[in-house]
């Protein structure tokens, strides 16, 4: 796991976006996995900028999102499909039919989850998966206690996640209590994982994920088993890392090597 500590959110977003851009330029038909939330928002804004100003071409890219709330239609302002359209897809040249977000309105969610896994397989697997981390250390909606061997499925949200996400809704009671989510094992099959983490409120979760034991209680800790995971975080999120000096040294060496 490679940890890059950035001076602020903007630098974090730029460096993470640069990894995505390098892949798309090297492999124009790349399969990208996306996340929602405030952490990757700056990354998406940078990808939009690179598309408009530098000609970054997404015309052959295929995308898969990690998750979606159950019960929210795609045009709901708090649905993850709406988020992705508004913050990325509508501003780049990716064909909408090549973008995939779980269907929160699926009546047969088991069949839909199996189909989602099959679509990823048929696309050749995810080349690069963008991730955030919850304040309790979860990735996607794999809440504490989720199996590290889990696949795409319906999950019920913890009270902490509902509380954390209530800021996006008018009332806490409006937050859906379940979601369709890629599983931990599904995420670990991506060839590269890129996790963006910012803010003091994520510092404890990040330290547990990077330096703590691998445990289903911190599902992001499973990324320690992944052969190519890159973490980009700001100074605030890095404040609880005990190996900070070592991470900085590795980052310096990697930059020097190009």
The residues that are catalytic are: 67, 136, 138, 143
Neighbours of 166 (CB within 10 A): 14
Strands 192-197 and 229-234: parallel
Which residue in this structure is represented by tokens 């190519």?
228
Query: Between β-strands 99-100 and 62-65, what pairing exists: parallel, antiparallel or unpaired?
Result: parallel
Alpha helices in 100-179, H assignment, sequence order: 109-122, 159-165
Distance between CA atoms of 157 and 160, rounded to whole angstroms?
A: 8
Displacement of CA 57 from its chain's centroid (Å) = 21
**Nearest to residue 43, comparing CAs of 84, 95, 74?**
84
CA distances from 105 to 34, 98, 179, 222 (A): 20, 19, 10, 29
Exposed/middle/buried for residue 218 (C-beta within 10 Å: 0-12, 13-18, 19+): buried
């Amino acid at each position: 796991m490679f940890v890059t500590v950035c001076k602020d959110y903007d630098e974090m977003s730029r460096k993470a976006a640069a990894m995505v851009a390098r892949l798309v330029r090297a492999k124009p038909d790349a399969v990208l996995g996306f996340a929602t939330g405030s952490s990757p928002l700056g990354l998406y804004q940078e990808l939009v900028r690179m598309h408009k100003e530098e000609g970054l071409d997404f015309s052959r890219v295929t995308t898969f999102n990690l998750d979606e709330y159950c019960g929210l239609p795609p045009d709901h302002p708090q649905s993850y499909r709406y988020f992705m359209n508004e913050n990325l897809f509508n501003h780049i040249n990716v064909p909408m039919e090549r973008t995939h977000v779980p269907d929160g309105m699926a009546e047969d969610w088991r069949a839909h989850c199996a189909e989602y896994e099959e679509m990823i397989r048929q696309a050749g697997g995810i080349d690069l998966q963008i991730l955030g981390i919850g304040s309790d250390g979860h990735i996607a909606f794999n809440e504490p206690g989720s199996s590290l061997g889990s696949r795409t499925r319906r999950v019920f949200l913890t009270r902490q996640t509902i509380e954390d996400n209530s800021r996006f809704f008018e009332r806490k009671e409006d937050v859906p209590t379940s979601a369709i989510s890629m599983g931990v094992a599904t995420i670990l099959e991506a060839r590269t994982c890129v996790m963006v983490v910012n803010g003091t409120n994520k510092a404890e979760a990040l330290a547990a994920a990077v330096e703590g034991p691998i445990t289903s209680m911190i599902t992001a800790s499973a990324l320690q088993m992944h052969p190519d995971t890159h973490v980009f975080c700001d100074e605030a999120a890095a404040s609880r890392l005990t190996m900070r000096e070592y991470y900085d040294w590795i980052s310096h060496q990697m930059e020097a090597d190009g």
